[in-house]
Amino acid sequence: MQDRTYTADAEPGESATVAGWVHEIRDLGGIAFIILRDVSGKIQIKFEKDEMDDDLVETGLGVSRESVISVTGDVEEEPRAPTGVEVTPESVEVISDADPELPLDPSGKVDAELSTRLDNRTLDLRKPEVQAVFTIRSEILRAVRERFRDLRATEITTPKIVATGTEGGTELFPITYFGEEAFMNQSPQLFKQLIAGSNVERVFEIGPIFRAEEHNTPRHLNEATSIDFEGAFCDQSDAMDVAEEVVVAAYEAAAENCADELETLGLAEEFEVPNDGFPRLSYEEAIERINATGELDEQLVWGDDLPTEGEKALGDDVGGHYFITDWPSEIKPFYIMDHDEDEQLSTGFDLMHPRMELVSGGQREHRHDELVAGFEQQGLDPDQFEYYTKMFKYGMPPHAGFGLGGERLIMTLLGLDNIREAVLFPRDRQRLSP
Ligand code: ATP
Ligand code: AMO
């Protein structure tokens, strides 16, 4: 395809070879049109049957929708054509024929179930509104990376095959590793801490996490993309600042660089970059406010984890992103540091979107003996984590960080109903392929 011209670049007055998918065929009798689509847009191909070679007309109009063809011909201005230009073909090559029975309609005129769409992602992504989600996803990841780099964080990649889990609340996927039991990693948690404790100091990773969640919800995946940060000489408040900056940067990037995609998704009018300065409520204030909404059948008491309906009630009450800080130590993992003045109270925080949790983070326990004691309190065997704890004997600075769910960020930013719409090939209870 050396001399191929993108449809958007086909200039009137020149000859061009355009190639792409047959979007539409309109046969009006004496005249017929193919609308050809490629990544840059669409172009009309005109077939004047009486004035053209029969073979050319037969080849061009014999194709089915979604076939891949290449067309060479003169480009002319034509006000009646959808984009104001059309090509009169001199040659047409059918590169790849499409079966006329399509499992879903890429023109979007006929709705398809999400499962049909996911089974046929190649066809599904031919719809502009689906493509827009992934263009925005790509832009958001670019902006997030850039923001971390501006904060002098180094991008790292850590193992996904590991010997131990770290996130108590969720199950592990076991695998066999040369005859030994191993697991798919739930979080880069321990690795990012080990590198923040070197004098690299600030690190980030954008990578997969694996969670054997049994439940099937619109906001859980079994393989998700985690956006992780860890910074030496950072505390809870610094980590919250970074989480907020990164979330705001994602919104700004979408607003500044994805206007067409937001328009395609029907969001251009309503899309708003959240104001920074997300409110920071303590866990204690959060449960008081939830109880005051009267939305729950039973009042929450100190020490309870927040039920989904509680998070929703509070989200409606606050009306935007907000943090919940200083959680009870008991419901946060062993690596989260407790407050000096009250051991029941941790430095753990969550960043919430009104619809769901986006981020968990906190300051870490960097004191070796306290860390080992924390394992024991949570019923974990510190010997299994020796590779990690021993590094805390060789100069570990105070540090803090967070994990931000990439798909949840995209889902909430675009108002998608289901997290599966934010992943190309989601993994859930029912879905292991494609
Ligand atoms: P021509 O317009 O070349 O004389 P024709 O006589 O075969 O072609 P028309 O009856 O003029 O056909 O046109 C059929 C329909 O196609 C009309 O609705 C006309 O507006 C539309 N049409 C004709 N040419 C074009 C074009 N180049 N782009 C878009 N629509 C067109
Ligand atoms: P946590 O387990 O809360 O924290 O995960 C961090 C964020 O990752 C996202 N997330 C998920 N998204 C989709 N499907 C899932 N199954 C799923 N599980 C988690 C959420 C969540 O807020 N190590 C800590 C982070 C830290 O302290 O740095 C951790 O993994 O958006």
Query: What pLDDT score does 91 carry?
Result: 97
Q: Does residue 315 form part of some domain?
A: no
- HSE value, Cβ hemisphere, 13 Å, CA-based, for 142: 12
| Under-50 pLDDT residues of the chain | none
Assign residue 32 the CATH number of its domain: 2.40.50.140
Residue 38 sits in which domain range? 7-96
- Domain shared by 88 and 126, yes or no: no
Query: What pLDDT score does 1 carry?
Result: 58
Q: Whose CA is nearest to atom 17 of ligand 1?
A: 28
Query: What pLDDT score does 169 carry?
Result: 65
Residues in the chain: 434
367 is in an annotated binding site: no
Query: What pLDDT score does 164 carry?
Result: 86
Total number of domains in the chain: 2
Which three-class secondary structure state does DSSP give residue 196? helix
357 is in an annotated binding site: yes
Nearest-10 crossing angle of helices 406-414, 128-150? 120
Check pocket membership of 225 for ligand 2, CB cut-off 6 A.
no
Q: What is the pLDDT of residues 138-163, one digit of tens each?
A: 999 999 999 999 999 999 999 999 99
Q: Whose CA is nearest to atom 29 of ligand 2?
A: 403
Q: Does residue 85 form part of some domain?
A: yes
Q: What is the pLDDT of residues 19-30, one digit of tens each?
A: 999 999 999 999
- Domain shared by 416 and 273, yes or no: yes
Check pocket membership of 171 for ligand 2, CB cut-off 6 A.
no
- Domain shared by 78 and 155, yes or no: no
Query: What pLDDT score does 100 carry?
Result: 96
354 within 8 A of 311, measured Cβ to Cβ? no
Going by DSSP bridges, is the β-strand pair 322-325/280-282 parallel, antiparallel, or unpaired?
parallel
Q: Does residue 134 form part of some domain?
A: yes
Six-digit token string for 363 = 């300051």
Q: Label residue 359 exposed, middle or buried (CB < 10 Å: 0-12, 13-18, 19+).
A: buried
**In whole angstroms, what separates CA 55 from the centre of its chain?**
47
Q: Does residue 308 form part of some domain?
A: no
- Domain shared by 239 and 341, yes or no: yes
ipTM: 0.86
Six-digit token string for 259 = 């206007």
Using alpha carbons, list the distances in angstroms from residue 100 to 61, 142, 189, 191, 405: 13, 38, 49, 51, 40
Assign residue 206 the CATH number of its domain: 3.30.930.10
Q: Whose CA is nearest to atom 28 of ligand 2?
A: 402
